[in-house]
């Protein structure tokens, strides 16, 4: 019997549920974990205010046909004396890793613990968190977890905004303006389809679109290799264009693969 695991931090939306339905198609038993992992939040980040919609989450998972929901306490994951941290190097130097110190160590460590407890055959992650996906794949390979990692496509709102638990932080004005992120990334894809290969010109075009939103502040915009997460200076093979944008205190990420 094949077991699939979908790790989440709750506040579930269609993005999470798309991973659940992928898992249901690939395995016999689907486990969804809900754990807001403190070790992946920085001291200035939103751990204390992270949205909690636990009862609704359970209802959605039951309706989706999930077999088991695993909601461990902090002490179950990090019992007294817990002293291990997993660091995947290289891949975590760019993009979010550069701005969220220790974030991916927290992610790798909690996923390793979840994998050891649940012992799934397959674990599913969304492409929205493309760097996280690459880091987990590397860790699972390096540490020979023997788990297949499957990736789910990015699920978006009607205006293109990538679904995220953090979208609920946005004011109505910010929410309207947040659609510039996907519009910017789509502009990049369109330019590349018309033959543009100069990375700086692609950045300029994306910035131009995102900066039409007065409430948007770009944290990073970078083209990287989709596996190594190393910066790419020439678009010769498919590359990941990733962006992080602040709207007020809310930090949103998104990405697109650019195919020359």
Beta bridge partners of 223: 241
Closest CA to 258 of 209, 217, 221: 221
- 67 included as an active-site residue: no
Does position 106 interact with ligand AMP (CB under 6 A)? The reply is no
Among 32, 150, 162, 223, binds ligand AMP (CB under 6 A): 162
Among 4, 106, 120, 152, binds ligand AMP (CB under 6 A): 152
Does position 57 interact with ligand AMP (CB under 6 A)? The reply is no
Region 12-51 residues binding ligand AMP, contact defined as CB under 6 A: 15-16, 18-19
Of 135 and 188, nearer to ligand AMP (C-beta) is 135
The CB-of-197 to ligand AMP minimum distance in angstroms stands at 28
Does position 9 interact with ligand AMP (CB under 6 A)? The reply is yes
Does position 125 interact with ligand AMP (CB under 6 A)? The reply is yes
Closest CA to 118 of 243, 3, 202: 3
Catalytic residue among 16, 67, 103, 249: 16
| Residue 125 CB neighbours (<10 A) | 22
Structure tokens at 101: 């110190």
- Count CA atoms closer than 13 A to 84's CA, side-chain side: 11
Helix axes 180-193 and 199-210, enclosed angle (nearest 10):
150
Q: How many residues bind ligand AMP (CB under 6 A)?
A: 17
Structure tokens at 162: 């990538």
Taking every pair of Cα atoms in the chain, the longest distance, rounded to a whole number of angstroms, is: 57
Among 33, 39, 92, 164, binds ligand AMP (CB under 6 A): 164
CB 216 within 8 A of CB 244: no
Does position 163 interact with ligand AMP (CB under 6 A)? The reply is yes
Does position 226 interact with ligand AMP (CB under 6 A)? The reply is no
Closest CA to 123 of 32, 226, 227, 28: 32
- Could you list the active site residues? 16
| Binding positions for ligand AMP, rule: CB under 6 A | 8-9, 15-16, 18-19, 125-126, 128-129, 152, 154-155, 162-165
């Amino acid at each position: 019997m094949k077991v699939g695991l979908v790790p989440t931090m709750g506040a579930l939306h269609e993005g999470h549920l798309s991973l659940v339905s992928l898992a249901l198609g690939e395995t016999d038993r689907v486990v969804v974990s809900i754990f807001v992992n403190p070790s992946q939040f920085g001291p200035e980040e939103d751990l204390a205010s992270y949205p909690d919609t636990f009862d609704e989450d359970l209802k959605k998972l039951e309706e989706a046909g999930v077999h088991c929901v695993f909601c461990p306490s902090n002490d179950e994951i990090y019992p007294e004396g817990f002293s291990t941290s997993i660091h995947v190097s290289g891949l975590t130097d760019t993009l979010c890793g550069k701005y969220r110190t220790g974030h991916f160590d927290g992610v790798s460590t909690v996923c390793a613990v979840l994998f050891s407890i649940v012992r799934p055959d397959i674990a599913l992650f969304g492409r929205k968190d493309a760097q996280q996906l690459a880091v987990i794949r590397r860790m699972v390979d390096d540490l020979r977890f023997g788990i297949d990692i499957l990736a789910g496509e990015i699920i978006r709102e009607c205006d293109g905004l990538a679904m995220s638990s953090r979208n609920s932080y946005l004011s109505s004005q910010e929410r309207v303006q947040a659609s510039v992120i996907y519009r910017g990334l789509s502009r990049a894809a369109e330019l590349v389809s018309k033959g543009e290969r100069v990375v700086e010109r692609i950045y300029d075009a994306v910035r131009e679109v995102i900066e039409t939103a007065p409430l948007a502040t770009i944290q990073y915009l970078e083209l990287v290799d989709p596996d190594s997460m190393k910066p790419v200076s020439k678009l010769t093979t498919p590359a990941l264009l990733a962006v992080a944008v602040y709207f007020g205190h809310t930090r949103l990420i998104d990405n697109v693969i650019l195919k020359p």
